[in-house]
Structure 1
């Protein structure tokens, strides 16, 4: 790194650090101010609610007293409606006041005194109303003339004043504190804004100072990009040639391996024919006349040599299948893809029909579920892909239960997904990726095969710009999932044309 770049980097880091510190300070101070403001606001709200509740209680007691006086003077029960409404609401008002005064011993004592006075006042009112309703109006008025109700109301007013005056004082103090907090918030915002402007100004200066170097670097990058496409094209051609050479090498090696294999198979046949002649000659000699060497020769001709020839034939047959598999894969890589719209349901119905007899013998039901999407792809490749997957599902059915294979498809994120689902043996979790490797198999090897089917499927699916995966639970079944593009890209078409 040059000295200039190092200097710019250090200045940028310093600016970022200063800005981060400023922002952290502003955020911390703002949080503290917000918390304090919230505390003050809660206190103001509680004081205001306490004051309102006190006024409401006094008004309710006065309404109850007015209703009582009107009823006693007129005897008209309509005057009792304000009394009854106020009498019912007093308890709720006192309960609210207790909640507002919670945590404040002085205020709680005043509220409890108000509750006692309110109860006594309502009892006095209720007693006079009951006497009036019993026709004893004079007795009711006599109670009123004693002045007990007036004294109770005076005591209630004094208690309310004792509650309201401290509340007013606290309210004034809290409002003053709120104003102070607001002034402090303005100062914090102003100073923080000025500091941030300084940081931004320094950052702009650094950016303008460094812009010239960036422009020069961009020009150099543009010069490199101008030649990038040509280099990519050249490397693509080189990779394609290397791939063609690998395919030709695989074909040549497989072809050259077949020549000595054919010789071994031919000489094995001649050896078996000579052994048959030898055994026929030995059978013409009575076994009882054999000496020890003749008996050993007879045993070798009848037991050891046929067994050895069987091993040789089995090995050469397996090697022949492996060579054929390599030839198939090498030829498939060079086959030209023919892209066309394909009705996958019709294609799968033909594939299922070709294995119907085999599936019926194994009591296996193959179901193509619902409607399937149409894709633009290579027909032969799809036939081989689905054919291998269905053959594989039939091959590894669980004999303990009736087999069932379901094929379904759906569209997902501009791709077409197909699933081949079976209830067969299943695949161990550690083999989910292994089974797609060439000549690799999973589980008990009690079915014929060389482990090339799924490797071939993955090769073909990838040529179609798709992907194949498996989800499986051992002993329950497997789901092979193929994801293909709705239509091939230009790169797939170009590779098909150049193959």
Structure 2
């Protein structure tokens, strides 16, 4: 027995280690994707600012040229105001471009050429205005007709294109990489979540298999006669050690799986914050002039990356619910039953009262057929059993007709039989046993749940030394039948301790 329990513990620890490593991988992927998003955000900001500054420089040169042309044509000095403002602002714009280029040698070389072209253009404009102010209008127009100013503007436009095109290509490359990373992160999260669910399911299967072994051992000990008292005592000690190991297993599930799960949720939140800043920045930019790279960036921020986050959140939420369900089953297995006189009439009236609002919303009536027999059993376990059965009956009523639930009870020899009958959807014959298995459900999955409730009911009923079965016809309803002893026998370990 001890060797078997050690093997169970080793298997559980190996499975939990695999799940923890998977979660750490998901955390690392989320962190990597968050760093990539920040890098992309900085690149978007710099390239956007570079575009704006380049457009500003071209606009300033064009404003200066427009002011010059207006003055030459009309001799009205009002046209010199935009010229003077634009030529004065060119230097600060070029300084801004240099700051945005940082240490990029190619961009600095292009900006130096732009500075030379801007100086030449301003010199040409100033020459014509000086001639005009001196009364030499024909000479000023002759300078304009040489076409030198137009060539300078064309050279400036080509230089600005040489500055912006590589930056756009760099942004497009980073965007493609970021989209690929987001998709890879989504796949990793989904596959990792599936793997962890399988690991947790295997761990639960091991725990249930081990628990059934313990129950068989308990029945074997009870069957021994008084002459084997020493042997019974030794076996009881083994059972106690096994129960302690199950409790340690429950602690490992709650601690080692939940801690990295919290990390995944935290990193996902940080990723959402970074994504929000990128979206806010893109929203501030005009969308009517977007090129292909900018449009792809908007699509990634609005569609692809939020979808990846949704995958991660769905996986972690489902994982959290499964861990909670496993803990509930493990803790119930360790609770000491407390037999006491129980009036089933009063107990079920209280349970029905707690569900009355839920039943009213579903247009359902619950009828307790009197009289119901009383028994000696654990009150809390009975409340949980019938609460789960009635909750399920209400949840799976047929919306096409008024719901009716009836509770019956009778005595047969030394056993009590209780029935919960409804006129709901019903259960297919092949699922009559399957619905009592962990994480298994029947029919259309249009109601919330993880497939835990009926497995929990069967576990409780068996601890109460009873049995639960179902009879059902699809489209007509179901009858859940519970068989219990009149008096719950004290657990063997409690009998030994009391003695």
TM-score, L = length of structure 2: 0.52
Deviation at 1:495, TM superposition (A): 7.2
Q: Distance in 2 between matches of 1:463 and 1:274?
A: 51
The aligned counterpart of 2:249 is 249
Count of aligned pairs: 275
Deviation at 1:491, TM superposition (A): 3.4
The aligned counterpart of 1:356 is 356
8 A contact 1:336–1:497 mirrored in 2: no
| Structure 1 segments of 4+ aligned residues over 4 angstroms from their partners | 224-229, 495-498
Higher relative contact order (CA 8 A, sep 6+): 2
1:427 aligns with 2:427: yes
Deviation at 1:287, TM superposition (A): 1.2
CA distance change for structure 1 residues 237 and 451 in 2, over 3 Å: closer, same or farther? same
User: Equivalent residue of 1:287, what SS?
Assistant: coil
The aligned counterpart of 2:480 is 480
The aligned counterpart of 2:334 is 334
Deviation at 1:309, TM superposition (A): 1.4
Q: Distance in 2 between matches of 1:300 and 1:482?
A: 56
The aligned counterpart of 1:413 is 413
1:277-332 residue CA offsets vs partner (Å, 9 max, x unmatched): 22111111111222212211111111122222122212211111100011111111
User: Equivalent residue of 1:373, what SS?
Assistant: coil
The aligned counterpart of 2:440 is 440
8 A contact 2:236–2:493 mirrored in 1: no
CA distance change for structure 1 residues 336 and 232 in 2, over 3 Å: closer, same or farther? closer
Q: Distance in 1 between matches of 2:370 and 2:436?
A: 28
Q: Distance in 2 between matches of 1:496 and 1:344?
A: 30
1:245-300 residue CA offsets vs partner (Å, 9 max, x unmatched): 12321332232111111111111122222222221111111112222122111111
Greater Rg by CA: 1
Deviation at 1:227, TM superposition (A): 6.8
Q: Distance in 2 between matches of 1:338 and 1:470?
A: 27
1:117-161 residue CA offsets vs partner (Å, 9 max, x unmatched): xxxxxxxxxxxxxxxxxxxxxxxxxxxxxxxxxxxxxxxxxxxxx
Q: Distance in 2 between matches of 1:368 and 1:492?
A: 35
CA distance change for structure 1 residues 339 and 262 in 2, over 3 Å: closer, same or farther? same
The aligned counterpart of 2:379 is 379
8 A contact 1:372–1:410 mirrored in 2: yes
Aligned pairs for 1:191-210 within 5 A: none
Deviation at 1:225, TM superposition (A): 8.4
1:321-353 residue CA offsets vs partner (Å, 9 max, x unmatched): 100011111111111222211111111111111
1:409-453 residue CA offsets vs partner (Å, 9 max, x unmatched): 111121111111111111111111111111111111111000000
Aligned pairs for 1:91-170 within 5 A: none
Aligned pairs for 1:204-283 within 5 A: 228-283=228-283
Deviation at 1:229, TM superposition (A): 4.3
**CA root-mean-square deviation:** 2.2
Deviation at 1:231, TM superposition (A): 2.8
User: Equivalent residue of 1:465, what SS?
Assistant: coil
1:367-411 residue CA offsets vs partner (Å, 9 max, x unmatched): 111111111111111111111111111111111211111111111
The aligned counterpart of 2:124 is none
Q: Distance in 2 between matches of 1:238 and 1:340?
A: 28
User: Equivalent residue of 2:465, what SS?
Assistant: coil
Q: Distance in 1 between matches of 2:484 and 2:434?
A: 22
User: Equivalent residue of 1:484, what SS?
Assistant: strand
The aligned counterpart of 2:287 is 287
CA distance change for structure 1 residues 264 and 383 in 2, over 3 Å: closer, same or farther? same
CA distance change for structure 1 residues 354 and 248 in 2, over 3 Å: closer, same or farther? same
The aligned counterpart of 1:197 is none
User: Equivalent residue of 1:407, what SS?
Assistant: strand
1:6-47 residue CA offsets vs partner (Å, 9 max, x unmatched): xxxxxxxxxxxxxxxxxxxxxxxxxxxxxxxxxxxxxxxxxx
The aligned counterpart of 1:166 is none
Q: Distance in 1 between matches of 2:493 and 2:417?
A: 21
User: Equivalent residue of 1:443, what SS?
Assistant: coil
CA distance change for structure 1 residues 329 and 231 in 2, over 3 Å: closer, same or farther? same
User: Equivalent residue of 1:341, what SS?
Assistant: strand
Deviation at 1:228, TM superposition (A): 4.3
Q: Distance in 1 between matches of 2:461 and 2:497?
A: 18
User: Equivalent residue of 1:348, what SS?
Assistant: helix
8 A contact 1:254–1:326 mirrored in 2: no
Aligned pairs for 1:40-79 within 5 A: none
TM-score, L = length of structure 1: 0.52
